[in-house]
Structure 1
Amino acid sequence: MSKRAANVNHLGATPAHPEHDPSHPLVVFGDHQFCAGNLMDVRRMSGPHMHSQIELNFVLRGRMDYWFDGRQLTIDENRLCLFWGMIPHQVIDRAEGTQFVCLYIPMSVLLGFPSLSRFRNAVFRGAVIEAMVMQSWESEVFQRWRNELLSGDAELMEIVRSELTARVMRIEREGWRDLREQGDAIASLGQRDADWVVHVEKMLRFIGEGALDNISVEDVGKAAGLHPNYAMTLFRKAVGMTINQAIIRHRLDTAQSLLIATDLPITEVAYESGFGSLSTFYEAFQRRFKEKPVQYRRRLRPA
């Protein structure tokens, strides 16, 4: 939702994860740290939500079914998946007794390594990445990482940051698949100024927290301290889409969550999602989802 209705947290040094406000149908978190979910028992969620980190799910036992950006996906026992939390997602079902480890890493991890360009592009375009190579001891390692991130021990947390970053890089090296059968590649950025990652992260964060207001490409570039033309070039090469496309995508992600999780009239959904006019909303929504908002709501929320 927009700043009028969204829950955007700025939590300082305290790691943030979606369980901080489980009652809210759409949660957008402004925290960008490594952190872990408190709960291990998988629970059905009342509606889709969103958050700013990359989310990793390792299923210890059982099976969980996600609604993810309009599709239903299943993650089985001893499988590892990751996705960008800004794509609306919801646990809609699970086998009795299912448990998982849920970890969150900042988007800067994916932005910081040129070798991850194809992987990064897939994630930011809405892929659900599944690791193809798993080891027998991973269950113990993920539980240890969770416990150490929750411990508050600064030295242990720093070790986990390094190990978890390495695990993500191994996913790219050892093989992965997109459960949504997407993941177009983009060219690698190559060697660039050391602070380009900071600029792109600032732009992504600004879009994630401000797309539902009346922001422009100039505003996004200014938030990162960049000239608009350079901001547009850098953003497209790093993320695989234009700044305007990213803004519209976030607004549409919000709109589909509101259509599913609330009973707001379509007009209110449009304006709460950041669209300046109903006609612009209808045009953008039908271009992406190939149906009208009311049809989308009826299909996903049958009487």
Structure 2
Amino acid sequence: MILYGSELAAKLHEGMKETIEQIKASNQRIPCLSVILVGDNPASQSYVKSKANACHKIGLENRTIRLAGDISQEELEKVIQEENENPNVDGILVQLPLPEGLNEQRALLAVSPDKDVDGLHPMNAGALLLDRPGFLPCTAKGVMAILKEAGYDDLTGKKAVVMGRSSLVGKPLALLLQQKNATVTVVHSKTVNAKEICKEADILIAAIGKAGFVTADYVRPGAVVIDVGINRVEGKLKGDVDFDSVEPLASIITPVPKGVGPMTVCMLLDNTIEAWKKHEGIA
């Protein structure tokens, strides 16, 4: 079965739209996402536009703050602080990458943890590590939603292999899979016998940033294969998984595009609504 994240996202968007309509009907403040875009990176501009469109579709308020690429670190952090203090803003996202000369970690640290809907602040990362409530990184949260949709909510007895150890995807995913009782192995560039380890997985998640790297000889027949990779090859988006060779083996597989990507944006909206509930004292 090919599981399209775009279809799941559309279904979840309908639920979010209903929530926003109920908020409007009760004359409450509408949840608001503030996106800070620095510079004129074409890919970043495209991502920000897609997030704004997603907000519009469900009725979520969206602010896009565009800053010059030569802004100083102090000026950027001042803008972030202004959004932290804005009572009408629930979620803040600093679009990465930042232009050369700006410190991304400092910028992310400047975002208030209770508005960090990207789930990248150390306090939210620590909350995940300690299994406490906090905002989850959107891509990792989206992968877990896909697994739940596929009937893999309780992962007791399942072997899960995560390919990649990034703070954005690999590390949080490993923790979330453990919380669902999976036995988790993280494979990375320094792993010995990675192919053999991957072939033992009931659930294989590829997040390494290498187009078509995962071929059929990495996959156990009947495995669930989640492709997080987004690589541009000759003008087309390609995943980390060689779809044509792996799809016949997998019981469930996500494609690229229309797989995990739409779920990342969907979970950003979900986190923003959750932030609004917390700010309004509802959750």
Both proteins in one fold, TM over 0.5 = no
Q: Which one has more relative contact order, counting CA pairs under 8 Å at least 6 apart? A: 2
